[in-house]
Amino acid sequence: MSHLQRGVFLDLATVDRDDLDLTELRASLPVWSFHEHTEPDQRLGRIGDAEVIVTNKVELNAEVLTAAPRLRLVCAAATGTNNIDVEAARRLGIVVSNARDYATDSVVQHVFALLLTLVTQLDAYRADIRAGRWSASDQFCLLDHPIGTVAGMRLGIIGWGVLGRATARVAEAFGMEVLVAESLNPDRAAQEDRVPLERLLGQCDVISLHCPLTATTRHLIDDAALRQMRPGALLLNTARGGLVDPEALARYLRSGHLGGAGIDVLEPEPPPADHPLLADDIPNLILTPHTAWAARTARQRVIDEVTANIHGYASDQPRNVVE
């Protein structure tokens, strides 16, 4: 058994809005400090001699990890761990655990909320109603914005993990054809049935991103990738903002080459007011504020996953270790 004394949760308010049960988490260690948010210059003071850090989005770089004298376990209250220097943690003998498969229902319904909103022109018709166009119409319905059907569309998935696979299952139920991109990571196991990224981009009506943000995947969807996408194709990003070059995406939406985009994640977050994708003249862009994961059930599950990761480490059976 590994005896752990003290834990610090650096950004509890990003998970809990006083609607979650933290009893088990609080009981998992003798001493806890919970902080709603932590600014970069507050990190070291708050970490102190903690052996366990829980973070959703506070950055833990090599400098911070090196300066934490007793740190043994970092629990990401998230699946994505791009805010944590996992390599530095490994060198320092610190275990990093994440939360897996905790928000699958929430993220997948969000992917389809974005896709169906684009394909049905929901926003445009709601704006028409608010502007009085339905009441003023000479017929029972409005037909001003062309409506597609997802059935028959070809969906390209980039990132064949928990969320990519779950998205594919729902897509098939909608009558979509699914193609899966080869992983760019050369260490990945056999990739039969996968399609090279370039071909996937050129053959699909919808591209949905589900891979982690790493040095290799940063700006995976750049100017060249957007150019390869079919005219009128749709881009969905519920993974990480850094996967997409925002200036390039704004250009391809403005030019009409892309039919639309549904984006839940930007870089940085929160985005500055002058972020290229916050401009108000970009057509067919639906933005949501990183809420794909945020159903209450999923937020409770992420707390339960963190608790299980602490218990796993304490009983010498670390779980969900990020390699």
Ligand X SMILES: O=C(O)[C@H](O)CO
- Judged by beta carbon distances under 5 to 8 A according to partner kind, the member of ligand X, ligand NAD, none in contact with residue 185 is ligand NAD
Residues 6+ positions from 254 with CB-CB distance below 8 Å: 281, 282, 283
56 binds ligand NAD (CB under 6 A): no
82 binds ligand X (CB under 6 A): no
80 binds ligand X (CB under 6 A): yes
- Judged by beta carbon distances under 5 to 8 A according to partner kind, the member of ligand X, ligand NAD, none in contact with residue 56 is ligand X
- Distance from CA of residue 178 to its chain's centroid? 20
Smaller CB separation from ligand NAD, 260 or 262: 262
Smaller CB separation from ligand NAD, 43 or 210: 210
Neighbours of 80 (CB within 10 A): 17
Among 14, 38, 97, 183, indicate the residue that binds ligand NAD (CB under 6 A).
Answer: 183
CB 261 within 8 A of CB 236: yes
Smaller CB separation from ligand NAD, 25 or 76: 76
161 binds ligand NAD (CB under 6 A): yes
161 binds ligand X (CB under 6 A): no
Minimal distance in Å, beta carbon 143 to ligand NAD? 34
Q: Is 210 a catalytic residue?
A: no
Residues 218-277 that bind ligand NAD (CB under 6 A): 238-240, 264-265
CB 180 within 8 A of CB 168: yes
Round to whole Å and give the CA distance between 24 and 22. Answer: 6
Residues 269-298 that bind ligand NAD (CB under 6 A): 290, 292-293
What are the residue numbers of the active site?
Answer: 240, 269, 290
Instruction: Point out which residues bind ligand NAD (CB under 6 A).
Output: 79-80, 103, 107, 158-164, 181, 183-185, 188, 210-212, 216-217, 238-240, 264-265, 290, 292-293
